[in-house]
Chain A
Amino acid sequence: MALDGLPQERWTPEMAAHLLNRAGFGGTPAEVEALYQRGHAGAVDWLLDIPPGDGVAAPPVWANPFTARRDELLGPMPMRGSDRDADRQARQRVVRQREESWLFDLRAWWLYRMRHTTTPLQEKMTLFFHGHFATGYEKVRSAYAMFLQNQTFRRHATGNWRALVEAVTRDPAMLIYLDGIENAKGAPNENYAREVMELFTLGEGHYTEADIREAARAFTGWRFNRRLFTMEFVPSRHDAGRKSFMGKKGAFTAEDIVGLILEQPQAARWLAAKLWTYFAYENPEPAVVDALAATLRRADYDLAPALRAVFMSRAFYGTRAFRTQVKSPVQWMIGTLRMLDAPMPETLQVQRTLASLGQQLFDPPNVKGWDGGITWITTASLALRYEAGARFAHQRGQARARDRMLDHRETILAEARALDLDIVLPSTDTPWLREASGPALDWARLLPDEVRHSKRAALDNLLWRLYQTGLRERERALFAAYLDQLPDTARWTESTCGDALAALINTPAFQLT
């Protein structure tokens, strides 16, 4: 049947690598081997076992209302400034830059978590939800609101879909992004009502324009409380009248609407297809979608049983899935670091690279999120990946990036002092910023002496690290031909090692996982 399990005896190290790549961000050969040794079911259990707090990196101090300066954290958000008063504009600029430095820190924190987490599925689901419930800082203009939403996604990573949709419907960042805070009785704003059905729960064509208008009425009444940073319900702003929605009538509230949406059989199919596409392959067979949707409904939208079904299935390890997924820029970057057990590079460099490749976190292109798949690859983005790959292989530009970041920080602080503004910028002494100052790629460990006796041994060693799910014979032959041009492995310098690494990762095949 569609979601038949993979027979236990078919479980291979390549499949363990595939599982770790897709359910997480990959790992070193040793981590893949350890996962393989758990057996198929044991490996999936391990991924789904997410204890509270992985101890990798606590949230930034500025994002903790109990330790941060509450007035600043919860103060007025930076406005888009049309005030002509020059002094006020300057102040707004400083506040905006402070807010952006928090956002910058937030990204660095999350990327560090993805790189080092011991619960990779949790971060992978958080990234899935960020793309699914896409919300952009550029409109929200509050790093703290983006942080709260990110934590909501993390908390529900393998939890319950209904609970998450309800949480998102009251999420400050989302409701700022989709104008839910403007939605009032009498003249409802349809933006959130439309997207919640079109993009989040049902898909286009499974509701009517009338359903949108009625849902928008039901969603009225929520107001953003800037003191508490929550959405609060204001009965006088809520349209308590009768609504007609999906063929039912009643004085529906927001929760009622979410409930009625999730009653639709299409709602489970929509989520099933999204999950399958994210983890396995695009355009899944209808039978696969139906089977996974049934799993979701049976568990009343608990996500863990559905995820288990995906990772246990034979189809997840089939030819449609294996080595067919274009790595997202985040997957490409974090995956490469994890395979090589490499430290996070300077975050300014990392964030610039991700922005140029089209996946800046907290800045999706629009509410539909990133299209993914082959849309990641254009002539421009592919060339940029190669350039960034080479920069990484040779560990170039890092000191410069760090200087640039510190200079920028000093500039903001100086501007603030000149205006007599007392602002708090993120600490520079955090695990996610410290790591880049430490040792870089460790070639003595990546290519130890025992594999330097021949080019073939060195190549096999590097390929098992970088192409854990295998590669075509003719690419292997090309790599071997390339290595023939290099000096003897015993004489490889860091620069030679960088050349070899760049050659191996700047290929079409490496863009797939």
Chain B
Amino acid sequence: MPNDILYTRRDFLRTGLLGGAMTWSAPTFLLSAMNALSASAADAATQAVTGRDGPILVVVQLSGGNDGLNTVIPYTNDFYRKARPTLAVPARDVLALGGDVGLHPALAGFRSLYDDGLAAVVQGVGYPNPNRSHFRSMEIWHTAVDANRASNRGWLGRYFDNACAGSDPTVAINLGKENPQAFAAKIPKGISYQPERPVAFEDPLGGLGMAAAAEDEAAGGSITTLRGGGGTEQVDALDFIERTALHAQVSSDQIGRISKAYTPRETFPNSGLGRDLRTVAQLIGGGMPTRIYYVSLGGFDTHANQAGSHRNLLATLGDAVRVFMAEMKRQDNLDRVLLLTFSEFGRRVDENAGQGTDHGAAAPCFLFGGAIKPGLHGTAPSLDPSRLVDGDLAFTTDFRALYASLLDHHLRADSATILGRRFDPLPVFRDQPERMRS
């Protein structure tokens, strides 16, 4: 890891998970009053903690464009070997799944989950008119709108707006610095949390009765616009910061309490992803009422010398997810927790001159959990050069059909409202009818 000196763990552990003494960062009196200045912050009233049941979705974002072809490998296919003279994984190393595909050898963790009947592989996931820009394609996955349209709401944000009214800001927790665009909602929800950078707003909203004072003048007319959505919705930056301060204050108390209540039994790998998933497991085990957890693993943009770095990334992913699911089993939470992996796109079928691959299109997604119907789903895209689109795999499953299944059958929300239209859900759950009709 670069810059060892900057990220010494000892320093952060010293203060414990959330134990930083924060009363001195700002007087409680001012914190509460400042936070209460926001008129619209009133909607953040807390609700009772009911974290022991209800479905949970854990999203694992693979940033940079994961090479799907070397993840779920069509190892018997001649086109694959021709397209990947140096990067093709030898057939003898592939962890066969049946159906002429197998996993990359670094994904032993996924293989063992597959063998336990806890893994579903959805092949050929993408969308029409694929965009090969990291940022635009990621935005399309986050907003779940057609590739030629823009939205300033995320698909999970629309779920919050439609199905989580009145819930805590901690209905969704992102492990990281930046809120994912998928969280962008009409009523902002979701917090970002970094356990290694311990922080606590010491005091929950005190009864200072300052909220009413918040309604008068908007002096300065400070108007700015929410980024990233391509829309024109106006958001007041000061209002946004006041609301965020309030959320931090309310939720840090809750997280602090709950993370003391449970310690994961399994030993997680000491990778960034391993630590993040351990935190998620700790919060789930402690009974946090959170429905969505969001974690990321970056580095998949393997334009050059792909083999080694891709192998390491997949091993990191597989090992962390395997332990996480084992921990869920111990907690008896297997059936209510679902873990999804996705990436903004797959990579070009032909490798380039630098033993890497350029941006591509369709790729597989993985689902893990006790409620899923294990095995291979969807259709593997053809590798026949005449069937490729600009050198890329043509998608066979729209990612929004996958979202629709998660929303309808796992999160118990109405996918048609949230996605703006009905997608035929994929039959990826055990108790789901074979095919839903629109």
**Chain B residue at minimum C-beta to C-beta distance from A348:** B5
**Chain A residue at minimum C-beta to C-beta distance from B8:** A404
| Bound complex: CA A474 to CA B212 (Å) | 12
Asked if A470 lies at the interface with its beta carbon under 8 angstroms from chain B, I say yes
Asked if B179 lies at the interface with its beta carbon under 8 angstroms from chain A, I say yes
| Bound complex: CA A193 to CA B36 (Å) | 49
Asked if A373 lies at the interface with its beta carbon under 8 angstroms from chain B, I say yes
Asked if B336 lies at the interface with its beta carbon under 8 angstroms from chain A, I say no
| Bound complex: CA A138 to CA B384 (Å) | 37
Residue numbers in A under 8 Å from B247 (CB-CB): 379
Shortest B265–chain A CB gap in Å is 27
Given A282-B225, A380-B192, residue A138 in contact with residue B2 (CB < 8 A): yes
**Chain B residue at minimum C-beta to C-beta distance from A508:** B241
Task: Determine which of A374, A499, A506 lies in contact with B237 in the assembled complex, contact meaning CB atoms within 8 Å.
Answer: A374
CB-based contact B26/A326 at 8 Å: no
Given A188-B353, A472-B220, residue A380 in contact with residue B241 (CB < 8 A): no
Task: Determine which of A82, A183, A378 lies in contact with B177 in the assembled complex, contact meaning CB atoms within 8 Å.
Answer: A378
Residue numbers in A under 8 Å from B177 (CB-CB): 357-358, 378, 380-381
Task: Determine which of B63, B252, B353 lies in contact with A187 in the assembled complex, contact meaning CB atoms within 8 Å.
Answer: B353
Asked if B200 lies at the interface with its beta carbon under 8 angstroms from chain A, I say yes
Asked if B219 lies at the interface with its beta carbon under 8 angstroms from chain A, I say yes
Asked if B248 lies at the interface with its beta carbon under 8 angstroms from chain A, I say yes
Q: From B27-35, B70-78, B116-124, B403-411, give the one contacting chain A.
A: B27-35
Task: Determine which of B27, B30, B248, B358 lies in contact with A382 in the assembled complex, contact meaning CB atoms within 8 Å.
Answer: B248
Asked if B6 lies at the interface with its beta carbon under 8 angstroms from chain A, I say yes
Shortest A388–chain B CB gap in Å is 9
| Bound complex: CA A119 to CA B64 (Å) | 38
CB-based contact A368/B220 at 8 Å: no
Asked if B50 lies at the interface with its beta carbon under 8 angstroms from chain A, I say no
Shortest B78–chain A CB gap in Å is 20
| Bound complex: CA A322 to CA B221 (Å) | 8
**Chain B residue at minimum C-beta to C-beta distance from A498:** B24
Given A204-B136, A512-B237, residue A485 in contact with residue B29 (CB < 8 A): yes
Asked if B308 lies at the interface with its beta carbon under 8 angstroms from chain A, I say yes
Asked if A366 lies at the interface with its beta carbon under 8 angstroms from chain B, I say yes
Shortest A258–chain B CB gap in Å is 20
CB-based contact A194/B359 at 8 Å: yes
CB-based contact B303/A191 at 8 Å: yes
CB-based contact B238/A384 at 8 Å: no
**Chain A residue at minimum C-beta to C-beta distance from B309:** A80
**Chain A residue at minimum C-beta to C-beta distance from B174:** A378
Given A104-B5, A352-B6, residue A209 in contact with residue B30 (CB < 8 A): no
CB-based contact A390/B24 at 8 Å: yes
Residue numbers in B under 8 Å from A382 (CB-CB): 241, 244-245, 248
Asked if B420 lies at the interface with its beta carbon under 8 angstroms from chain A, I say no
Given A179-B304, A470-B220, A506-B26, residue A379 in contact with residue B192 (CB < 8 A): yes
Task: Determine which of B8, B224, B251, B359 lies in contact with A374 in the assembled complex, contact meaning CB atoms within 8 Å.
Answer: B224
| Bound complex: CA A387 to CA B221 (Å) | 29
CB-based contact A198/B133 at 8 Å: yes
CB-based contact A189/B213 at 8 Å: no
Q: Size band of the B side of the interface?
A: 35 or more
Given A187-B353, A375-B227, A507-B30, residue A474 in contact with residue B5 (CB < 8 A): no
Scan residues 11-31 of chain B and give those whose CB is less than 8 A from a CB of chain A.
Answer: 20, 22, 24-27, 29-31
**Chain A residue at minimum C-beta to C-beta distance from B192:** A378
Q: Which interface residue of B216, B242, B354 has the most chain A CB atoms within 10 A?
A: B354
Q: CB-CB contacts of A490-513 with B at 8 A, as 1s and 0s?
A: 000000000100110011110110
Shortest A450–chain B CB gap in Å is 27
**Chain B residue at minimum C-beta to C-beta distance from A198:** B133
Residue numbers in A under 8 Å from B245 (CB-CB): 382, 508
Scan residues 374-388 of chain B and give those whose CB is less than 8 A from a CB of chain A.
Answer: none
Residue numbers in B under 8 Å from A183 (CB-CB): 353-354
| Bound complex: CA A190 to CA B354 (Å) | 11
CB-based contact B193/A472 at 8 Å: no
Residue numbers in B under 8 Å from A283 (CB-CB): 225, 232
Residue numbers in B under 8 Å from A365 (CB-CB): 178
**Chain A residue at minimum C-beta to C-beta distance from B255:** A379
User: How many residue-residue contacts, CB under 8 A, span A and B?
Assistant: 234
Asked if B134 lies at the interface with its beta carbon under 8 angstroms from chain A, I say yes
| Bound complex: CA A405 to CA B6 (Å) | 10
Given A194-B132, A194-B359, residue A324 in contact with residue B222 (CB < 8 A): yes
**Chain B residue at minimum C-beta to C-beta distance from A318:** B221
CB-based contact A209/B241 at 8 Å: no
CB-based contact B26/A502 at 8 Å: yes
Asked if A323 lies at the interface with its beta carbon under 8 angstroms from chain B, I say yes
Q: Size band of the A side of the interface?
A: 35 or more
Shortest B40–chain A CB gap in Å is 13
Asked if A97 lies at the interface with its beta carbon under 8 angstroms from chain B, I say yes
Residue numbers in B under 8 Å from A295 (CB-CB): none
Asked if A464 lies at the interface with its beta carbon under 8 angstroms from chain B, I say no
Task: Determine which of B31, B64, B135 lies in contact with A368 in the assembled complex, contact meaning CB atoms within 8 Å.
Answer: B135
Asked if B366 lies at the interface with its beta carbon under 8 angstroms from chain A, I say no
Given A103-B3, A137-B2, A378-B177, residue A373 in contact with residue B227 (CB < 8 A): yes
| Bound complex: CA A478 to CA B28 (Å) | 12
**Chain A residue at minimum C-beta to C-beta distance from B240:** A374
Q: CB-CB contacts of B109-135 with A at 8 A, as 1s and 0s?
A: 000000000000000000000011111
**Chain B residue at minimum C-beta to C-beta distance from A396:** B24
Task: Determine which of B38, B194, B220, B303 lies in contact with A189 in the assembled complex, contact meaning CB atoms within 8 Å.
Answer: B303
Residue numbers in B under 8 Å from A96 (CB-CB): 2
Task: Determine which of B25, B37, B63, B352 lies in contact with A508 in the assembled complex, contact meaning CB atoms within 8 Å.
Answer: B37
Asked if B431 lies at the interface with its beta carbon under 8 angstroms from chain A, I say no
Asked if A163 lies at the interface with its beta carbon under 8 angstroms from chain B, I say no
CB-based contact B241/A482 at 8 Å: no
Residue numbers in A under 8 Å from B222 (CB-CB): 319, 322-324, 512
| Bound complex: CA A367 to CA B64 (Å) | 11
Residue numbers in B under 8 Å from A188 (CB-CB): 352-353
Scan residues 234-275 of chain B and give those whose CB is less than 8 A from a CB of chain A.
Answer: 235, 237-238, 240-242, 244-245, 247-248, 251-252
Scan residues 458-502 of chain A and give those whose CB is less than 8 A from a CB of chain B.
Answer: 470, 472-475, 478-479, 482, 485, 499, 502
Asked if A113 lies at the interface with its beta carbon under 8 angstroms from chain B, I say no
CB-based contact B237/A209 at 8 Å: no
Shortest B199–chain A CB gap in Å is 4
| Bound complex: CA A506 to CA B199 (Å) | 14
CB-based contact A97/B4 at 8 Å: yes
Given A204-B136, A508-B238, residue A320 in contact with residue B223 (CB < 8 A): yes
Task: Determine which of B178, B220, B298, B304 lies in contact with A378 in the assembled complex, contact meaning CB atoms within 8 Å.
Answer: B178
Residue numbers in B under 8 Å from A482 (CB-CB): 27, 29-30
CB-based contact A499/B303 at 8 Å: no
Residue numbers in A under 8 Å from B303 (CB-CB): 178-179, 182, 189, 191
CB-based contact A478/B223 at 8 Å: no
Shortest A283–chain B CB gap in Å is 4
| Bound complex: CA A383 to CA B309 (Å) | 34
Residue numbers in B under 8 Å from A511 (CB-CB): 241
CB-based contact B227/A282 at 8 Å: yes
**Chain A residue at minimum C-beta to C-beta distance from B23:** A390
Which 3 pairs between the two chains have the least Cβ-Cβ distance?
A187-B353, A182-B354, A378-B192
Q: What are 9 A-B pairs with beta-carbon distances under 8 A? A: A96-B2, A104-B5, A184-B353, A189-B304, A374-B237, A375-B227, A378-B244, A389-B25, A507-B30
Interface of A with B (CB < 8 Å)? Answer: 80, 82, 96-97, 100, 103-104, 137-138, 178-179, 182-184, 186-191, 194, 198, 204, 209, 281-283, 319-320, 322-326, 348, 351-352, 355-358, 360, 365-368, 371-375, 377-384, 386-387, 389-390, 394, 404-405, 408, 470, 472-475, 478-479, 482, 485, 499, 502-503, 506-509, 511-512
Q: For the A-B complex with A191-B303, A387-B22 known, give 6 more contacts whose Cβ atoms are closer than 8 Å.
A: A188-B352, A190-B352, A282-B224, A355-B3, A378-B244, A479-B30
